[in-house]
Homo-oligomer: A and B are copies of this chain.
């Protein structure tokens, strides 16, 4: 599964004429080993621990490439930090975001997805992507 993701990135890189670099390999390894919804800064710090040379700009640039390659999805919650999650082709989910403990619950709902398509169709709108985030308190934070 990790090898599969590395192959996806290599294929993407090849198709775009990108070079294979030590930095990209390291960042991909570490990204694949993190939990979901990691912030760029969290990832940068984790990378720096084992690879002090790698800079902020490279981490930002490389995560954008992972998004383009379909390996990662950018998540913008309401805390001013861009986060990334592991993406799988053809799969999609949305988020319940706890404002108490910052935990995130993922969910999928086919009916909601279908209704979104209906709404778009009704307006002659072509969907590229969407975000559905439900903010509130998780079971633990409700006390």
Binding site for B on A (CB under 8 A): 76, 78, 96, 98-99, 105, 107, 109, 111-112, 115-116, 119-120, 123-139, 142
Contacts and interface: CB of A to CB of B under 8 A. Distances in A.
B78 A96 contact: no
Nearest to A95: B130
Given A78-B76, A112-B112, A119 B134 contact: yes
Given A116-B134, A125-B137, 10 more contacts: A76-B76, A76-B78, A96-B119, A96-B120, A109-B119, A112-B115, A125-B134, A125-B138, A127-B135, A130-B133
B139 A134 contact: no
Contacts of A127: 134-136
29 contacts: A96-B123, A96-B125, A105-B125, A107-B119, A111-B111, A111-B115, A115-B115, A116-B132, A116-B134, A119-B134, A120-B134, A120-B136, A123-B138, A124-B138, A124-B142, A125-B134, A125-B136, A125-B137, A125-B138, A126-B136, A127-B134, A127-B135, A127-B136, A128-B135, A129-B135, A129-B136, A131-B131, A131-B133, A131-B135
